[in-house]
């Protein structure tokens, strides 16, 4: 936490992860290996373009070989699959990521399944999803939930035995987050409730949370009526709302009404600067892990 305030500075904690990753990149250099990441963007979703650029730039800064592949919104499925096949067999590439969401003519599940599980640094391939669900440690875990665990570790939040309420059930955040918190171990063993858009009496449930994870994708959805005093609140939402006074005509807000919730909770992540930077940090950590595994040095 920064200077006694209860705001979890994801940017600063991400830099700590980057420093560790950079050491691992340097250790691989001794073996003549440079971790390689390919980031694929299909179409021109403006938010996705920014995320992809951030991933590409940060990877280059840490000494990765980073390839950004931009394809038009009407890119035929066959062409995308050909590109993924080529990346799967390219020994300079250890991690492959296709930015979500995809244009509607492309089936996300089919695309993810076309990535080699050993290079699926997003942890979305069915093999990696199954490994997480089964508690096997040799797969890849999705970056946002992994980043959230790292934040909890940083503030020494006692996860075991706590009641974690995850609001949202996406394959990118909600589901893997719930699975991770359920795992045995010092960052698991939580009692996990998953709430979603069909949940009745949401506030009655979220108010029971020691740890509240908001991954709904609705701006300012949760307020002080949803939060118990002293809870830790992790806001995964990155929502653009129109703001004529902002330089770009919009500003970013989370799923949580920050001003209202910050005074009552033990710790809260801001938007931007909370979970977002952690996601990139864990993506690069997963990619260096993929490179280590490719040369038989992998920790699991
Ligand atoms: N879109 C939003 N978050 C993510 C992510 O973690 N990975 C990918 N590939 N796309 C995303």
pLDDT at 5: 56
pLDDT at 300: 57
pLDDT tens per residue, range 66-120: 999 999 999 999 999 999 999 999 999 999 999 999 999 999 999 999 999 999 9
SS3 content of the chain, % helix, strand, coil (to 5): 40, 15, 45
Residue 199's Cβ-count burial label (10 Å; 0-12, 13-18, 19+) is middle
Catalytic-labelled residue, pool 9, 122, 235, 255 = 122
Give the atom of ligand 1 at the shortest distance from the alpha carbon of 283.
6
Atom 1, ligand 1: residue with shortest CA distance: 100
Ligand 1, from 99, 115, 147, 284: best to mutate by most atoms within 8 Å of Cβ? 99
Residue 9 is among the residues annotated as catalytic for this protein: no
Beta-bridge partners for 252: 240
Catalytic-labelled residue, pool 9, 55, 131, 235 = 55
pLDDT tens per residue, range 214-239: 999 999 999 999 999 999 999 999 99
Residue 89: CB atoms within 10 A of its CB come to: 8
Beta-bridge partners for 98: 40
Residue 122 is among the residues annotated as catalytic for this protein: yes
pLDDT at 299: 65
Residue 55 is among the residues annotated as catalytic for this protein: yes
Q: Please list the ranges in the chain whose pLDDT falls under 50.
A: 1-4
Catalytic-labelled residue, pool 99, 131, 235, 285 = 99
Distance 230 CA to ligand 1 centre (A): 30
**Residue spans of alpha helices (H) in the chain:** 10-29, 46-61, 77-88, 108-113, 126-134, 143-154, 174-182, 202-206, 258-261, 275-294
Distance 99 CA to ligand 1 centre (A): 5
CB-based pocket (< 6 A), ligand 1: 97-100, 122, 143-144, 172, 279
pLDDT at 298: 73
């Amino acid at each position: 936490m920064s200077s006694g305030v209860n705001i979890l500075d994801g940017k600063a904690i991400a830099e700590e992860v980057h420093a560790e990753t950079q050491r691992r990149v340097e250790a691989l250099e001794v073996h003549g290996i440079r971790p390689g990441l390919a980031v694929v963007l299909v179409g021109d979703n403006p938010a996705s373009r920014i995320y992809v650029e951030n991933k590409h730039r940060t990877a280059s800064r840490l000494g990765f070989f980073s390839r950004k592949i931009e394809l038009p919104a009407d890119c035929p499925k066959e062409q995308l699959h050909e590109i993924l096949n080529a990346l799967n067999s390219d020994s300079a590439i250890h991690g492959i990521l296709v930015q979500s969401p995809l244009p509607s003519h492309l089936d996300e599940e089919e695309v993810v399944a076309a990535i080699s599980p050993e290079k699926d640094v997003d942890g979305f391939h069915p093999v990696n999803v199954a490994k997480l669900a089964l508690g096997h440690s040799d797969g890849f875990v999705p970056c946002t939930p992994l980043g959230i665990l790292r934040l909890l570790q940083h503030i020494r939040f006692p996860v075991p035995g706590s009641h974690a309420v995850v609001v949202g059930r996406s394959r990118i955040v909600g589901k893997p987050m719930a699975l991770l918190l359920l795992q045995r171990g010092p960052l698991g063993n939580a009692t996990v409730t998953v709430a979603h858009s069909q949940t009745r009496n949401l506030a009655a449930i979220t108010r029971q949370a020691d740890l509240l994870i908001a991954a709904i994708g609705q701006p300012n959805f949760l307020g002080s009526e949803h939060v118990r005093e002293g809870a830790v609140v992790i806001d995964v939402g990155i929502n653009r709302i129109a703001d004529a006074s902002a330089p770009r005509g919009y500003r970013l807000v989370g799923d949580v009404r920050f001003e209202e919730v910050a005074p009552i909770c033990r710790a809260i992540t801001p938007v931007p600067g909370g979970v977002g930077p952690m996601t990139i940090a864990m993506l690069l950590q997963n990619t260096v892990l993929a490179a280590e595994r490719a040369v038989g040095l992998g920790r699991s």
